[in-house]
Structure formats: structure tokens, C-alpha cells
Structure 1
Amino acid sequence: MAYTACPAPASREPRQNTQRTLSAVGTFLRPAHLVASLNTLSDRYARFVAIRRQRRDLLAMTDAQLLDIGLTRADAEEEYRQSFKLL
């Protein structure tokens, strides 16, 4: 029976897959990537909150205030209803 110093091809395959998986996880868990993802998420949330606040303020205006900016009560209510599409 002959012995070789090279491992069998089947024994090398799982090690390569494991290295690829760890490499992909390592790329995702880089501090810069995490910080960028958190910044993007917080920016989106802040924008969502600002839009909701603006739409609530629009709905709270009187009819005279709405006419001053060229809107009707129906326009303000429709704009407020659109905020639920953001969820």
C-alpha cells in the first residue's frame, strides 16, 4: 500500500468551503461596514420620523392656513394617508 503526503481531495473540500464562509462573514462584520449600515439605517429612520411629523403638522393646520399654502383639507388628509405607505 502506498502512502502519499497529499491529503485526499475530499478532505480539502470542506476546508475551502469553511474558509469561504468565514471570509464572507468577516467581510460583513468589518467595523466600517457595520458603521455604514447603522448610519444608513439611522438616516432612513430619521427621514421617516421627519416626514411623519410634517404630515401630522399639515393635518393640524386650519383651513385658512392650508389655503395660504395652496392646499385644501382633502389634500392634507390625502397626504397624511400616504404616510402609512411608508410602513
Structure 2
Amino acid sequence: MAYTACPAPTSQEPQQTARHALSTITITRRLHHIPGLINTLADRYARFVAIRRQRRTLLSLTDAQLLDIGLTRADAEEEYRRSFNLL
């Protein structure tokens, strides 16, 4: 009969292995969502940049151009100030 230096398996080992497997699955599921989160953040940032650019462009229009689209200088400045609420 051969003896080994390894201890005999205990009844807790299968439970620990199952817990480890479950935590690995949980981590994998969380990591699976990271690309989607990055895309969402990138989309929001791109939208923020586009809105800021549009509001700056609106502010750069002349009073006559603003009047053509039915706005006043005060309306354009108010809309531009709303850009800072996005931050």
C-alpha cells in the first residue's frame, strides 16, 4: 500500500469548488457587460460633444440669422448656458 503526502479530501472541498465556480461565472457575466458599458459611455460622450458644438454654432450666428430661424440673441445665449447643465 502506497502512502501520499496529500491529505484525504474533506467534505467541504466540493462545496468550495462549487462556490469558486459560481463566483467565476458571476465575474464572467459582469465582464461580459463591460463592452456594452464602454459603448454606452462613448455614445453619451459623442452626444455631449455634438450638442455642445451645435450650441456654440447657434451662439456664433448673427442676429439676422437668428431672426431667420425665429430666435433672439437672448434665446441663443440661454440655450448655450444650458450646455453647462450637461456636465
Classify the TM-score, shorter chain: 0.7 to 0.9
TM-score (normalised: structure 2)? 0.73
Report the equivalent of 2:57.
57
SS at structure 2 position matched to 1:46? helix
1:13-24 matched pairs, under 5 angstroms: 17-24=19-26
Rg bigger for which structure? Answer: 2
Structure 1 residue runs of 4 or more that deviate by more than 3 Å after TM superposition? 14-21
Q: TM-score, normalised by structure 1?
A: 0.73
Identity over the aligned pairs, expressed in percent?
58
Which amino acid is the alignment partner of residue 24 of structure 1? T
Q: Could you tell me which of 7, 12, 16 is aligned with 2:11?
A: 7
SS of alignment partner, residue 29 of structure 2: helix
Aligned partners of 1:19 and 1:79: how far apart in 2?
Answer: 53
